Amino acid sequence: MQSQISVPQPIPYQGSKRGIASQILPRLPEKIERLVEPFAGSAAISIAVASRRGASKFWLNDAHKPLMDLWKAIIDTPEKLADSYEYLWNEQLGNEREYYNQVRERFNQSHEPADFLYLLARCVKAAIRYNSKGEFNNTPDNRRKGAKPSEMRSRLLRTSLLFSNRVRFTSYDYKSVLKNCTMCDLVYMDPPYQGVCKNRDPRY
């Protein structure tokens, strides 16, 4: 069995299950009416299932609203998002560190999906981190510039095609998602490591 399923990964994301999706999928039913991810994150399992045509519909949810706004842009307007990412990627050249800081500051004001995609492509370990004020504060990985625009465009378009017209996006608390599931849904629970830091910062 292959250790990794060849599927698009539009969002670089710490903790993604993309690398072990091939080990998870055999444990799921071959046909699913609707796959629900209450903690969507990178939606790696939904992407893998969609690539196998293993579900008719999908429900992607994450309490982190900017992440779900990004997902909606990936699925509904991939060309527009790809154009915006290409602009940001080209604008950074020769001034990568300072430009990253500018985009990060702007994202903390507007939460624009394209800015968020750029930050995730460039930040250290693709980790979403916020300070006590609710501001994204992860630093850039200065060894790389992020996925090249042509590669990112391919990832976005391929992912959009997989989910087009059959996915729901929400930013609910996971308990609300579970209350609205039915016996026809398969719920894939992959919760974050909440509260692992006991001494200083127990936030998500």
pLDDT tens-place string over residues 63-91: 999 999 999 999 999 999 999 999 999 99
Confidence of residue 1 (pLDDT cuts 50, 70, 90): very low
Above 90 in pLDDT, residue 192? no
Which of 45-54, 85-94, 130-139 is predicted most confidently? Answer: 85-94
Q: What are the angstrom distances between the C-alpha of 134 and each of 66, 131, 174?
A: 12, 5, 20
Tell me the pTM.
0.88
pLDDT class for 188, splitting at 50, 70, 90? very high
17 confidence band (pLDDT: 50, 70, 90): confident
Distances (CA, A) of 146 to 10, 82, 118: 12, 13, 7
| Bridge-based pairing state of the strands 185-187 and 167-170 | unpaired
For residue 55, the surrounding DSSP H or E stretch is strand 55-61
Distance CA 178, CA 185 (A): 10
Q: Are 138 and 119 in contact (CB under 8 A)?
A: yes
Statement: residue 58 has pLDDT above 60 = yes
Distance, CA of 91 to CA of 37 (rounded, Å)? 35
Whether 200 has a pLDDT exceeding 70, the answer reads no
